Amino acid sequence: MQGRGLVSIAVLLLSAAPVLAAVPGDGERLAATCAGCHGTRGAAPGSHIPVIGGQGAAYLKKTLTEYRDGTRPGGVMANLSKGYSDKQIGEISDVVASWKWQNTPLAATPKGKKLSVSTAACAACHGKKGEGTVLAPHINGQAPEYLKEALLEYKNGTRNAPAMALLKGMSDADIDSLVKNYTRK
Ligand code: HEC
Ligand code: HEC
Q: What is the rounded distance in angstroms from the CA atom of residue 168 to the CA atom of residue 14?
A: 62
Please choose, from the candidates 30, 141, 149, the residue with its C-alpha nearest in 3D space to the C-alpha of residue 85: 30
> Does residue 21 have a pLDDT over 50?
no
Please choose, from the candidates 166, 142, 153, the residue with its C-alpha nearest in 3D space to the C-alpha of residue 48: 142
Q: What is the rounded distance in angstroms from the CA atom of residue 131 to the CA atom of residue 76?
A: 26
Q: Supply the pTM of this predicted model.
A: 0.89
Instruction: Read off the pLDDT of residues 22-44 as tens digits, 9 standing for 90 and up.
Output: 456 789 999 999 999 999 999 99
CB atoms within 10 A of CB 160: 12
- CA of 174 relative to ligand 2 center, distance in Å: 15
CA dihedral sign, ordered 94, 126, 51, 73: positive
What is the fold, at CATH topology level, of the domain defined by 106-185? Answer: Cytochrome Bc1 Complex; Chain D, domain 2 (1.10.760)
Q: Which residues contact 110 (CB under 8 A, 6 or more apart)?
A: 184, 185
User: What is the reported pLDDT for 17?
Assistant: 45
Whether 23-102 and 106-185 share one fold: the answer is yes
Break the chain into its structural domains and give their ranges.
Answer: 23-102, 106-185
- CA of 137 relative to ligand 2 center, distance in Å: 7
Q: Are 78 and 67 in contact (CB under 8 A)?
A: yes
Pocket residue to mutate for ligand 2, from 118, 128, 139, 170, most atoms within 8 A of Cβ: 139
Instruction: Read off the pLDDT of residues 96-131 as tens digits, 9 standing for 90 and up.
Output: 999 999 999 887 777 777 777 889 999 999 999 999
Q: Are 63 and 11 in contact (CB under 8 A)?
A: no
Q: What is the second-level CATH architecture of the domain 23-102?
A: Orthogonal Bundle (1.10)
Q: What is the rounded distance in angstroms from the CA atom of residue 56 to the CA atom of residue 30?
A: 18
Nearest Cα residue to atom 26 of ligand 1? 50
Q: Are 107 and 173 in contact (CB under 8 A)?
A: no
